[in-house]
Homo-oligomer: A and B are copies of this chain.
């Protein structure tokens, strides 16, 4: 019996290194032709399966596959598309299995975050129920480092290096001219619920007094009084103060400091702007001139630092 084929799909924001994962997966599959036939990739992620738009990676040379390791973006396209419960989206799950059947696919590798892991699990369940068992493997990817059962997730290391490097460089810049100019620098980084990226900013500080001076985590309710006291201490002691803040910073009641009101395809709130809010708070209460930066997609796509 010929080996079954595999289907690989990328999901969500692609990180600086998701193509390195694709590279490793395809190379390893090529080493085991007795177990895995062709590897198909979904164009624009799982949507590629639902629309039967598959990219046959076996048509690519070993050299082209090797180059994936250093290719930015998502080579096959990704998507934000959540398959909900089996009850709500049964037709789509069934469609998925039909496409898998039509292409003799026995392995499903889903490269994404928690939602994708959940989808991979559901696909394995329905595949079994439909009498066409598929080996479903969730392949971790996230900048947030918030996947259960993983210690350090591909994507996090790259963003960690980016934010730590960035706040160190900007910190030295501010330190150089704080005496007569900007005394406060705030860097807003990703992280709705997990403070790993903000914590990574702390790697820039090798001794007391070095930037960053304050880290604001989504897990720790924002206490404006305590924050302002510490900012003022830093300015008085070091001449300036640098702050890294998670986009998901919330107050004691759990309300986001920067709720922009719009939502993404998964129903998550679209954040952005908390950096300016805490910087302006400093300006209003303490009078210090500030600058702030919003790293946004730059942080997760920074291939040059990955």
Q: Which residues of A contact B (CB under 8 A)?
A: 10, 12-14, 16, 44-45, 47, 72-74, 77-81, 165-166, 168-170, 172-177, 179-181, 185, 187, 262, 264-265, 270, 272-273, 276, 283, 289, 291-298, 300-305
Copies per complex?
A: 2
Q: Which residues of B contact A289 (CB under 8 A)?
A: 262, 264, 270
Q: Which residues of B contact A272 (CB under 8 A)?
A: 276, 291-292
Please determine whether A291 and B301 come into contact, CB atoms closer than 8 angstroms.
no
Of the A-B pairs whose beta carbons lie under 8 Å apart in the complex, a sample of 19, sorted by A's number, is A14-B173, A44-B177, A73-B173, A74-B173, A74-B177, A77-B177, A79-B180, A166-B298, A169-B303, A170-B301, A172-B301, A173-B297, A173-B300, A173-B301, A181-B264, A272-B291, A291-B296, A295-B298, A298-B298
Taking a contact as CB atoms closer than 8 A, the residue among B78, B176, B304 that contacts A177 in the complex is B78
Q: How far is the CB of A138 from chain B (nearest CB, A)?
A: 19
Which single residue of chain B is at the shortest CB-CB distance from A273?
B276
Taking a contact as CB atoms closer than 8 A, the residue among B77, B174, B305 that contacts A176 in the complex is B77
A8 to B195, CA, bound (A): 43
Please determine whether B47 and A180 come into contact, CB atoms closer than 8 angstroms.
yes
